[in-house]
């Protein structure tokens, strides 16, 4: 049996139909709008180009342009903790007492010497394993020669890296100022 709604429900049905129709119209209007043009102005992307800048439209507007903001660079502090109340913070931070600088240079040289010894020790171990370009084959490398070739290539690369490390450390040590002999000045 077919039931008809009473006439008293008619205003509610009309209200629902009108509400549904207006929501559909709004949704279709949003889809029907022309896509936003995206412009590149230098390193910035925008929807509203500035006529004073040389803005060019992005050719592929179908894909979205995502810009991730970087971290902000913090400015210099107005007062340095080591600077006195009447001194300029820029000059106070660049001037160092000669005794402090000598101590820093000595510490830097000690650290570089320790790193150099470590790199030289690693280089000696690699040279021993390298065996003039013919490292000893391991048990699994007899059955699989490509493993041996891979290990030889890795050894060659590691040896080249350690040689470069040793050379760089020696250059850094040579750049350090020569420590003056301790004692009194004539």
Angle, in degrees to the nearest 10, between helices 98-130 and 145-175 = 160
Q: Greater confidence, 84 or 6?
A: 6
DSSP string, 37-97: P-EEETTEEESS--TTS-EEE-S--SSPP-----PPPPPPPSS-TTS-TTS-HHHHHH---
12-37: pLDDT as tens digits: 677 777 677 777 776 666 555 556 67
Q: How confident is the model at residue 181 (pLDDT cuts 50, 70, 90)?
A: low
114-167: pLDDT as tens digits: 999 999 999 999 999 999 888 999 888 889 989 999 999 999 999 999 999 999
Tell me the pairing of strands 39-41 and 44-46: antiparallel
Domain boundaries defined on the chain: 98-175
171: left (phi over 0), alpha (psi -120 to 50) or beta: alpha
Q: Greater confidence, 175 or 26?
A: 175
Query: Over 50: is that where the pLDDT of 184 sits?
Result: no
């Amino acid at each position: 049996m077919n039931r008809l709604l009473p006439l008293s429900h008619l205003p509610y049905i009309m209200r629902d139909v009108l509400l549904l129709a207006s929501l559909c119209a709004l949704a279709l209007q949003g889809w029907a709008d022309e896509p936003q043009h995206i412009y590149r102005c230098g390193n910035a992307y925008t929807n509203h180009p500035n006529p004073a800048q040389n803005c060019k439209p992005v050719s592929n507007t179908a894909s979205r342009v995502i810009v991730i903001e970087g971290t902000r660079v913090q400015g210099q502090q107005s007062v340095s903790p080591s600077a006195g109340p009447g001194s300029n913070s820029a000059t106070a931070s660049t001037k160092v007492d000669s005794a402090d600088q000598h101590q820093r240079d000595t510490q830097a040289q000690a650290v570089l010497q320790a790193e150099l010894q470590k790199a030289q020790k690693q280089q000696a171990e690699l040279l021993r394993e390298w065996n003039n370009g013919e490292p000893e084959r391991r048990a699994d490398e007899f059955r699989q020669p490509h493993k041996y070739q891979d290990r030889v290539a890795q050894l060659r690369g590691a040896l080249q890296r350690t040689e470069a490390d040793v050379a760089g450390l020696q250059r850094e040590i040579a750049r350090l100022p020569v420590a003056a002999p301790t004692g009194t000045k004539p």
